Amino acid sequence: MLIIAEKLNGTLKKTAAAIAARDVAFVQDLALRQVAAGAAYIDVNAGTAPAREPDDLVWLVDTVQEVTETPLCLDSANPAAIQAGLARVKRPPMINSISGERNRIEGVLPLVAGNAAGVIALLLDDNGIPKDVEGRMVVARRLLDLTRAAGIADKDVYVDPLAIAVSTKQDGALVALDTMRALRAEAPEVRFSVGLSNISFGLPIRKVVNRAFLTLALQAGLDAAIMDPLDDSLYSEMLAAEMVLGRDRFCRKYTSAFRANRIVA
Ligand code: THG
């Protein structure tokens, strides 16, 4: 499973302050710690101020690339920021994200083909997030029609089935898991990614809930997650679940993580 490391995100207080202060040491340290902890991609999100965002994201991209070759995941609500980040990356990034919303189809989808290693596709559109599996499948089919027409291979599309917090919607996780199973049956090459921590919003001891959801999502075929690789108990659960599901030949990943002191109870 690919870890997309989440902590260089301007919605987090410390990261926001570091971006505002152009704190190179903070950003590079956080990038390197996430890489050492197993990140396949580093999500970079400059935060919330739309006017400053392209400049801020370019600074983040440049600053991270000074210390690591790990590819980036360009995460922005602003297509202009994604475009500005794309002009700077040294290796093909993940693009986060497209959706069925018109501004994402017009502003972000045209940037993907030929420039990115993959694109995250959120199952929502201008009418919002469909409540049930069939509604999400309608959005998924339309998005795949569009990505295929744009020349993007299904294997480069990371569908995010959108896990709604179980505190606000009792079947929030189940709809996401069932959507993954249904879409995999129709489009076996498509990959799946989730923003792991959404599921536990509003609940105490969120990490326990995130771990449970990760294990269930792996069983449903999860390929990637935006998550905190520095959380050793989450990382341990991920490796244990993959091993138990037969995705770890000779238990090699789990046992080498144990030898590196990464497995915790
Ligand atoms: N899907 C996609 N992209 C996304 C999301 C998604 N990008 C943003 C977000 N969701 C994923 N990124 C984060 C980054 C940090 C945290 C959660 C999600 C985080 N949150 C803690 C909290 O909210 O309590 C704060 C902990 C801290 O301060 O360190 O860390 O769903 N495609």
pLDDT in tens, 216-264: 999 999 999 999 999 999 999 999 999 999 999 999 999 999 999 999 9
Identify the CA nearest to 239 among candidates 220, 258, 217: 258
Cα distance between residue 235 and residue 218, in whole Å: 13
pLDDT of residue 172: 97
The number of the ligand 1 atom at minimal distance from the alpha carbon of 12 is 28
What DSSP state is assigned to residue 128?
B
pLDDT of residue 48: 77
Mean pLDDT of 190-209: 97
Cα distance between residue 39 and residue 265, in whole Å: 21
pLDDT of residue 49: 85
Q: Which residue has the tokens 């903070």?
A: 26
Identify the CA nearest to 105 among candidates 80, 79, 86, 81: 79
Phi-psi category of residue 47: left, alpha or beta, with phi > 0 → left and psi -120 to 50 → alpha: left
Kindly give, in sequence order, each residue whose CB lies less than 8 Å from that of residue 204, ignoring residues fewer than 6 positions away: none
Residue 4: strand pairing partners: 41, 226
pLDDT of residue 149: 98
Kindly give, in sequence order, each residue whose CB lies less than 8 Å from that of residue 125, ignoring residues fewer than 6 positions away: 99, 100, 101, 139, 142
pLDDT of residue 253: 98
How many H-runs (helices) and E-runs (strands) does the chain carry?
11, 8
CA of residue 240 to ligand 1 center, whole Å: 23
pLDDT of residue 23: 98
pLDDT of residue 50: 86
Cβ-contact 1, 215 below 8 angstroms? no
Cα distance between residue 246 and residue 249, in whole Å: 7
Predicted confidence (pLDDT) per residue in 131-174, tens digit: 999 999 999 999 999 999 999 999 999 999 999 999 999 999 99
Spell 41-51 as b/e; 16+ CB within 10 A means b: bbbbbbbeeee
The number of the ligand 1 atom at minimal distance from the alpha carbon of 97 is 32
Predicted confidence (pLDDT) per residue in 47-98, tens digit: 878 899 999 999 999 999 999 999 999 999 999 999 999 999 999 999 999 9
Residue 121: strand pairing partners: 98, 159
Q: Is residue 57 classed exposed, middle or buried when 0-12, 13-18 and 19+ CB atoms within 10 A define those classes?
A: buried
Helical spans, DSSP H, in the chain: 13-20, 24-36, 53-65, 79-86, 102-107, 109-112, 133-149, 172-186, 206-219, 232-244, 252-259
Cα distance between residue 146 and residue 194, in whole Å: 21
pLDDT of residue 164: 96
- Cis-peptide, bond into residue 97, ω within 30° of zero: yes
Q: Is the CB of 47 under 6 A from ligand 1?
A: no
pTM confidence score: 0.97
Q: Is 264 helix (H, G, I), strand (E, B) or coil?
A: coil
Q: Is the CB of 65 under 6 A from ligand 1?
A: no
CA of residue 249 to ligand 1 center, whole Å: 31
Q: Which residue has the tokens 């420039």?
A: 115
